[in-house]
A and B are shown apart, each in its own frame.
Chain A
Amino acid sequence: MDAILFNIFNGILYGMLLFMLSSGLTLIFGMMGVLNFAHASFFMLGAYFAYQISEFVGFYPALIIAPLLIAVIGAYVEKYGLRRVHKFGHVAELLFTFGLFYIIEEIVQMIWGKVPVGYHIPLSMDFSLFKIMGMSYPAYQMFTLAVSIGIFVGLFFVLAKTRAGLIIKAALTHPEIVSSLGHNVPRVFMVVFGLGCGLAGLAGVLAGNTLGTDPSMALFLGPIVFVVIVVGGLGSLKGALVASLLIGLMQTFAISLDYSLNNILEFLGFSVDLESLWRILIDITISQIAPILPYLLLVVMLIARPRGLFGTRDV
């Protein structure tokens, strides 16, 4: 029982990290229909900015300044880039963000080099808060958890309860009417894109020091974010939260399951004596394929329910 609670706790921690990474992307897609390939790149920029700023003034100012900077950059990207490409359709927008991904990667390499940078947890939070089953949990991890919960609560509140959120939601489905009511629809889009990028940047600030900050992080972290938002449903914040937690729990539990198909067969009384390829397949333990499980889930979801758990539009 202890072990199960422990795994649940770890799974939730990991899931909230994933949510933090993907909340911005689902917001942008849900609000604007733009699948931002460069989302992970803004995440990477957030980590690098936080590293650079914390070298000068420390972590806490970086926590505030870096996401704001990224949000501003995102807003400018939307205003001067995406907006012009918008009239050419979704594919053009996709290609634009794709190109942006490469450009950001190159710029990062030119400024900070190709090797990982030493972005570390701030010393003020680098102590053990409590212990479960002999393992310490650093205060910083709890801080990250608190911030990601805060992000969800904050976003949900803004979108569902405030007037601004109402305008944003309306501007997506009925831009002409909202515009004729006197609201500046392009500005709404710019703000939303900026906000989404800012969220990615914030995730970068918080996670860059534990996951490692190097130029290839956008490339490696991109795919799992897409899994989360597709499984959760494109455009649904609630879906992104549920999907992140689901994937987090699934992966965490999987790692502790050292059982393979072979074990199950043996348990059932069959002793299999196969050679070569089949042997490899039935010898694979669940823990060995744990990181692949989210992608399996993605495939299953796309087959069974393409709009994801809470999605409002098809992929």
Chain B
Amino acid sequence: MLTKFIKIILISFTIFNFTISAKSSDTIKIALIEPMSGPLAAIGLDLIEGMEFFAERINKSGGVLGGRHIEIIPFDNQMVAEKTIQQLRKVIDQDIRYVSQGVGSNHALNIIKTLKKHNKRNPGKEVMFLNHSAVTTAFTNELCDFYHFRFDANVDMKVAGLITKMASDPDVKKVYLINQNYAYGQSFQAAAQRLLPERAPHIEIVGDELIVPFGKILDFTPYIAKFTASGADTILTGNWGPDAARMITAGANAQLKVKYYSIYAGIPNAMNAMGSKISTFTPILQITESNENDPNHPEWLQEIEAEYTAFSNKSPYADRQRWMLDMFAAALEIAGTDDPTAVGFALEGMKSRGANGEVYMRAKDHQMHFDMVISHISENVEKTFVYNGENYGMGYKTDGWVNKEEITLPSTCEMKRPKNS
């Protein structure tokens, strides 16, 4: 009797699930594949929340294509590469034509490769990849694809931006490179090795290290010893997560007086983990697309950011999500259809507004170009960072801007374009 009862429940559950996943073709769906569980869950969930916020803004102001809403559908990849491919197949099976991702370039690579094959074999059913944060330079060079658009600056561009600032920084004379030994870190290292002699020939590279990534190193003291022995006054690093936080903590404990030039060492999570004493002991600089404490931060952006903070109880951080969705919506309107091929042609060369002027999507390689701001963590800021109601007591203080022209780099992309119908 009981087993029969259980069987009935299980069967009705299954049927129920099937009916739930029946497609509602009213909305324009973007599948968002990010880690929703595991060590990077916080980053993934924050990005999903950001996407949902910016999509909601567009929906509230009338939607696209005659009132249709943009719907963000999150998928958990648990930071496992195979899971990303599995979820992508689900996305394709569910007839969703747009997929977005950004946490982890190896996942982005899987998506690009899988979609290349899928799009080739399924003309008329193409899926577009809206890449919001996967920064491996190759994605808009050797691996470029018509159905891939990158809305963040790539590693080479960010390193170029950092080095351009370093070149005019009188404190920087001897730099030590340290990076994580995987695709992203090696890419950072290669870009730094190439661009330092090009853009800052007076700066001497006194060290160049690759470390085992993702928190395997508990004790950074030997590295601090190496930094001290080399006489470096600046550390140029792509490290993120515990690899950055522990390194900077060890440096501060050892009273090492160096400037950190980084991309992700100062992200809000790290800032909180390190605490204000360590975060402000020596300047920790980072390069981003926007800084809410910038003296020239535009009014219209401040309003949007205030809405975002009211919605999410967090300070704004990834402004690129805003222009990604705005441009997507605009492209839909120009194309007049939700077909990815038409939307793709509309996105090429499209402009939008950024925190420091116009931003645009380069048609040649589908790489976004925008001015970038170099800032350091400081307690003397007007708007300190707030996360889930907790005030970190620190924020970012602008050191300078790098124009998009200064970080416009050549591309080896040779894209095969579909016919523009």
Tell me, yes or no, whether A292 is within 8 Å of chain B by CB: yes
Interface residues in A6-49 by Cβ distance below 8 A to B read 6-7, 10, 13-14, 17
| B217 contact set on A, CB distance < 8 A | 290-291
Min CB distance, A137 to chain B, in Å?
7
> B105 interface residue, CB < 8 Å from A?
no
Q: Which of A68-76, A184-192, A230-238, A248-256 contacts B (4 or more CB under 8 A)?
A: A248-256
Per-position contact with A for B214-249: 1 when CB-CB < 8 Å, else 0?
A: 111111011111101100000000000010011001
- In this complex, what residue of B is CB-closest to A121? B253
Near B by CB (< 8 A), chain A positions 222-265 give 224, 248, 251-252, 255-256
Interface: A220 (CB within 8 A): yes
- B39 engages A113 (CB within 8 Å): no
Complex alpha-carbon distance, A211 and B275, angstroms:
13
Selected interface stretch from A127-135, A161-169, A195-203, A267-275: A127-135
> Which of these, A113, A121, A214, A216, contacts B388 with CB under 8 Å?
A113
Contact B246 A114 (CB under 8 A): no
Q: Is the Cβ of A288 less than 8 Å from the Cβ of B212?
A: yes
Answer yes or no: B203 CB below 8 A from chain A CBs.
no
B 247-278 binary contact with A (CB < 8 Å = 1; else 0): 00110011110000000000001101101011
* Distance (whole angstroms) from the CB of B245 to the closest CB of chain A: 5
Q: Is the CB of B197 closer than 8 A to any CB of chain A?
A: no
Q: Is A99 an interface residue (CB 8 A)?
A: no
Contacts of A220 in B (CB 8 A): 39, 214-216, 242
Residues of A within 8 A of B221 (CB): 10, 13-14, 135, 252
Taking CB atoms and an 8 Å cut-off, the chain A residues in 114-147 that contact chain B are 114-118, 120-121, 126, 128, 133-138, 140-141
B277 and A252: CB pair below 8 A?
no
Contacts A14-B218, A116-B269, A133-B228; A211 near B246 (Cβ below 8 A): yes
Q: Does B323 interact with chain A (Cβ within 8 Å)?
A: no
B223 contacts A289, C-beta separation under 8 Å: no
Contact between B215 and A290, CB atoms less than 8 A apart:
no
Contact bitstring B387-421, A, C-beta under 8 A = 1, else 0: 11000100000000000000000000000000000
Does the CB pair B222–A10 fall under 8 Å? yes
Interface residues of B, count at CB 8 A: 43
Query: In the docked arrangement, what's the CA distance between A8 and B11, Å?
Result: 65
Also in contact, A138 and B42, with CB within 8 A (given A7-B222, A256-B222): no
| Residues 36-52 of B at the A interface (beta carbon under 8 Å) | 38-39, 41-42, 45
Interface residue ranges of A201-215 to B (CB < 8 Å)? 210-215
Q: Is the CB of A137 within 8 A of B254?
A: yes
Contact of B223 with A255 in the complex, beta carbons under 8 Å: yes
**Does the CB pair A211–B218 fall under 8 Å?**
yes
**Bound CA span A157–B253, Å:** 33
Chain A residues near B38 (CB-CB < 8 A): 216
Q: Which residue of B lies closest to A134 (CB)?
A: B228
| B86 CB, nearest partner CB in chain A, Å | 22
Residue B42 contacts which of A113, A126, A136, A287 (CB distance < 8 angstroms)? A113
Is chain B's interface secondary structure helix, strand, loop, or mixed overall?
helix
Considering the chains assembled together, what is the distance between the CA atoms of A13 and B216 in angstroms?
A: 17
Min C-beta distance of B76 to chain A, whole Å: 13
B209 interface residue (CB < 8 Å to A)? yes
Q: How large is the interface on A (under 10, 10 to 19, 20 to 34, 35 or more residues)?
A: 35 or more
- The answer to whether B253 and A138 have CB atoms under 8 Å apart is yes
**A214 with B254: CB separation less than 8 A:** no
Is B141's CB within 8 Å of the partner chain A? no
CA of A134 to CA of B217, assembled, Å: 22
Check if A115 sits within 8 Å of B272, measured CB to CB.
Answer: yes
Whether A219 is near chain B, meaning CB under 8 Å from some CB there, is yes
Nearest to B269 among chain A residues (CB) is A115
Question: Chain B's nearest CB lies how many Å from the CB of A288?
Answer: 5
User: Is residue B350 contacting chain A, with contact meaning CB distance below 8 A?
Assistant: no
B58 interfacial contact with A, CB 8 Å: no
Chain B residue contacts of A289, Cβ below 8 A: 212
> In the complex, how many angstroms separate the beta carbon of A247 from the nearest chain B beta carbon?
11
CB < 8 Å: which of B215, B225, B387 contacts A10?
B225
Taken together as a complex, chains A and B put the C-alpha atoms of A251 and B223 apart, in Å, by 11
Whether B39 pairs with A215 at a CB distance below 8 angstroms is: yes
A264–B269 Cα gap in the complex (Å)? 42
Contact, CB under 8 Å: A117 / B272: yes
Residue pair B212, A291 in contact (C-beta under 8 Å)? yes
Contact residue among B209, B229, B249, B269 (Cβ-Cβ distance under 8 Å from A287): B209
CB within 8 Å of A: which B189-222 residues? 209-212, 214-219, 221-222
Partner of A136, one of B211, B219, B255: B255
- Contact assessment for B209 and A214 in the assembled complex, using a CB-CB cutoff below 8 Å: no
- A136 and B281 CA atoms in complex are apart in Å by 14
> Within 8 Å of chain A (Cβ to Cβ): is B181?
yes
Contact with A along B357-382 (1 / 0, CB 8 A): 00000000000000000000000000
- Contact: A114 with B45, CB < 8 Å? yes
> Could you name 10 residue pairs across A and B whose Cβ atoms are closer than 8 Å?
A6-B225, A14-B221, A115-B269, A121-B253, A138-B254, A210-B250, A211-B242, A211-B246, A216-B215, A288-B212
5 tightest Cβ-Cβ pairs between the two chains A and B: A216-B39, A116-B273, A255-B222, A136-B255, A114-B42
Partner-B contacts on A (CB < 8 A): 6-7, 10, 13-14, 17, 113-118, 120-121, 126, 128, 133-138, 140-141, 210-216, 219-221, 224, 248, 251-252, 255-256, 287-292
